[in-house]
Amino acid sequence: MTESGHIKQPMAYQTLAQAAEAPLQAKSDEVLITLVHQGEQGAYRILVERYQERIRNLIYSIFREQQVVDDLSQEVFIKAYEALPQFRFQSSFYTWLYRIAVNKSRDELRKRKVRRWFSLQTMLDSGDKELGSKIVVEQHDNELQELLAAGLKTLPEKYRIAIILKDIDGLSYEEIAEIMECEIGTVKSRLSRARAMLRKVLEPLLKENE
Amino acid sequence: MKPQTKTELSQLLSSYLDGELDEAQTHAVETMLSQNPDAQKELEELSALKNLLASKKPLPPSYGFWTRFSLELERRKKEEENLLPFPRKFLPVVSIGAAVVVLVIGIVLFQQRATLVDYVSKQSERVQKAVEDNVLKGALMPLFTHIDKNQALQFAMFGTLPLDAKAGTELRVNEDSASGYTIDVDKKGARKTPTVTVQEFVDEVQPNRVQFQIIDSLLDLGRAKLEGSVLVAEDKAMAVNPELSRWNRVMLSGIAAALEPDQRVRFERFLQSRKAPYMLVGGRRGPESPERIYHSMRTPEGVTHFVVISPDSALVTRLDIDLDSLRRHTGGMAEKQRTVAVHVNSLIRRMAEREMAVSQQYRVPAPRVRVSGDSESFSIQVSTGWEGVPSMPMEPWVRPRMSEQVGTGRRQPRGGFNVQFGGDDSSFFFNLDMDSLMVRMGKAGNGGGIEVFKGDPRMGNRVFQFDERGLQQFLDSAFQGKKRKMSALDSLMNEMDKRERMRKEKELPEPRR
């Protein structure tokens, strides 16, 4: 209750009232989420379409495998849909969504690690594939991008995700800290370490480009 | 602000590059950069890297992502709905209802706990009774009916009793202070238990008339005890009184207690010369009186705990056995004895036929008795301290002779572990007793292969043999695996060489024409 005796509406409601007439596409994330909370399923479609490419690209940057991109992205949006009733507007929707995507990717990476432990054959196959992707690069137009991707793949998961979020997705330190659920200082050191490692791997390439 | 280490410098440059430093820090870094060409170079490289990453081409957009997503979402919703026998919206109500019901049941059960415990114990008694009735139904016969005093003395000295001379099976009690007692029923194999007679004992130890009478009574009592300790219910089950495992020591202690010190020395010599697995030890308080030992052997009559073993179950149960009436009932001893021997062999065979019974060791309801099956034998292991086997009432005068165990082929209680190796078309299994495993590897020209023995290989109790052909297959498959790994490494090395060559070619200046 406010001093004047009126029930204080959440921010989203006020925005909703103001933007009631605007088409769904023009509404903010917060308004759309409130609409989903109220049972307006169409609003979630707008949210998905708004962020699907960013999430797909993030997952592609982490895995560099087109075949996992759509499945994992789908999982991310399903998880977000299920958890949306608990979303309390304490962070922006896209950092929240990124956090889900990063956690899903980490889960997948861990699963792969476990699978490698338990299957000798898989270990040999994927080991070869991974090593191969680091070294074997076909001579074609986007060789540079391929080398960069191969270099990224050599980084441990926590460094890889930090540098992708910063340099590819252009997020701020605060946002990265929120997504990766760590301190800003940790983000700083992870980024610095990731860059140092990547610089070492791609040294010849960087010299060529100077 | 000056970075102390290379890592600090890198971190500072990284933050500078991201524009995450405040004004003062930015100024300090810029000053440092103007004086430090290495830092300048590093920043350039980091900047190139950042630009490279930022220029990453995005994926082609996914058309129909929403359609696929909404279909998947719909499918999952339906799947979830199908799992519930009621509409999903009732889930909270149903959950609360279920919790209340569980709580109420819990309270009722708690209030009625006395009745419940009574009910459970009655039920378990009924189950036990049913098992006893079924398993021990039919003619219950003592396994040993004709034990003479020589055999009783032999049991006292070696802990063995022959079951069936033809099949070569024997019953053997065995004791280990650490893990308790074991009663084994199996084939003698190549072991040879020396035979002793009471006459030999008398000749060697020279007891006087009174002493001999005491010893004779002890042997007589021991004989009766042995006869009532192992019972057979046709080929369905065998009931063994776990106390059997200590009778031989009690009997031996009783004999020793009846003797004078110089006679005890002669008795010890007698035990040693016959390679008995026990030796006499001097107790601190002097020997117990033979009367007390005699008394201790007599007292626990009536209802006794028995371990009942059938091919697929084992339980500890109380049996009230009137041995005298059993004897009167069975009559025609020689013939019955043969039938019993046949039943015991059949029982051992049936235990062996069951894969599970052979490899599995299972605990019977009483916590400290363990029964294990084997291909030609079974073993009952009774831990010390179990109520079914009361501890020795007197200070024991006899303890196992650790150095020499020849004669009875004493087996240590089963410890160790089982190992199973499986392949595509074959597998093998063996049990390793930690203290008695022997692996023998033969030369290729001499039959070849690996053999694993339990205990002494001279006894021929081989548990595992790997012949030359099997070994060759094993080596071949191992070699193939290594070869596969090597070829994967080779292709990787080739790729690396190729890249190295390409890099060098790029670096070399174009030849002038």
pLDDT in tens, B393-408: 555 567 666 543 333 3
The size of the A-B interface in CB pairs under 8 A is 111
**E-only strand ranges, B443-511:** 449-454, 462-466
Residue A99 lies in a domain: no
* Torsion sign (Cα): B165, B167, B168, B173: negative
| Closest-CA residue to B309 (of B458, B131, B464) | B131
Domain match, B243 and B271 both = yes
Q: Specify whether B184 is located in the same domain as B44.
A: no
Q: What is the pLDDT of residue A21?
A: 57
- For β-strands B398-400 and B278-280, DSSP reports them as antiparallel
Whether residue B188 is found in the same domain as residue B271:
yes
Q: Evaluate whether residue B505 is within a structural domain.
A: no
Residue A164 forms part of a structural domain:
no
Domain that holds residue B28: 6-48
| Cβ–Cβ contact A126 with B under 8 A | no
Residue B160 lies in a domain: yes
In this structure, are B26 and B162 located in the same domain? Answer: no
For an interface test with B, the pick among A75, A192, A199 (most B C-beta atoms closer than 10 Å) comes out as: A192
Cβ A157 vs Cβ A106: under 8 Å: yes
The larger pLDDT score, comparing residue B358 to residue B173, is at B173
One-character DSSP codes across A50-90: HHHHHHHHHHHHHH--HHHHHHHHHHHHHHHHHHGGG--SS
- Domain of residue A84 covers 1-93
Closest CA to B373 of B397, B354, B395, B386: B354
**A3 min Cα distance to partner chain B (Å):** 36
Measured between alpha carbons, how far is B355 from B373 in angstroms, rounded to an integer? Answer: 10
For every residue of B76-141, which 3-state class applies, written as one string?
A: HHHHHHHHCCCCHHHHHHHHHHHHHHHHHHHHHHHHCHHHHHHHHHHHHHHHHHHHHHHHCCCCEE
Structure confidence at residue B292 (pLDDT): 65
Q: Which of B55, B65, B71 to mutate to test the interface with A (most CBs of A within 10 A)?
A: B65
Instruction: Among A73, A188, A198, select the one facing B49 at the smallest CB separation.
Output: A198
Report yes or no on B230 lying in a domain: yes
| Residue B33 · residue B26 · CB < 8 Å | no
Query: Which residue of A lies nearest to B12 if distances are taken between CA atoms?
Result: A192
Average pLDDT of the residues in B463-473: 49
Same domain, B26 and B139: no
Shared-domain flag, residues B307 and B226: yes
Where a domain ends, among B368, B400, B432?
B400
The enclosing H or E element of A136 equals none
Whole-structure pTM value: 0.40
Q: Which residues in chain A have Cβ-Cβ distances shorter than 8 Å to B11?
A: 188-189, 192
For residues B373 and B426, state if they share a domain: no
CATH number for the domain including A55?
1.10.1740.10
Total of domains in chain A = 1
Tokens at B329, concatenated: 């009932």
Taking residues B160-169, what's their average pLDDT? 70
Tokens of A60: 């592609």
Q: What is the pLDDT of residue A194?
A: 92
Q: State yes or no: pLDDT of B139 exceeds 60.
A: yes
Query: Does any domain span residue B261?
Result: yes
Q: Per-residue pLDDT tens for A128-172?
A: 444 434 433 444 446 777 788 888 888 888 899 999 999 888 899
Contact criterion met (CB < 8 Å) for A45 and B44: no
Nearest chain A Cα distance for residue B415, angstroms: 30
CA distance B421 to A60: 42
Q: Is the pLDDT of residue B144 over 70?
A: yes
Question: Does the predicted interface ipTM exceed a cut of 0.95?
Answer: no
Q: Is residue B248 part of a domain?
A: yes
Q: How confident is the model at residue A75 (pLDDT cuts 50, 70, 90)?
A: very high
Q: Which of the four pLDDT bands, split at 50, 70 and 90, describes residue A56?
A: very high
Q: Do B59 and A56 make contact, defined as CB atoms within 8 angstroms? A: yes
Q: How many domains is chain B partitioned into structurally?
A: 3
The whole-angstrom distance between A5's CA and the closest CA on chain B is: 34
* Residue of B45, B47, B63, B79 to mutate for A, most A C-beta atoms under 10 A: B45
Q: Is residue A173 part of a domain?
A: no
Q: Establish if B18 belongs to a structural domain.
A: yes
Q: Are B218 and B314 members of one domain?
A: yes
As a whole number of angstroms, the distance between CA B366 and CA B352 comes to 24
Residues B304 and B200 reside in one and the same domain:
yes
Tell me if B218 sits within 8 A of B254, measured CB to CB: yes
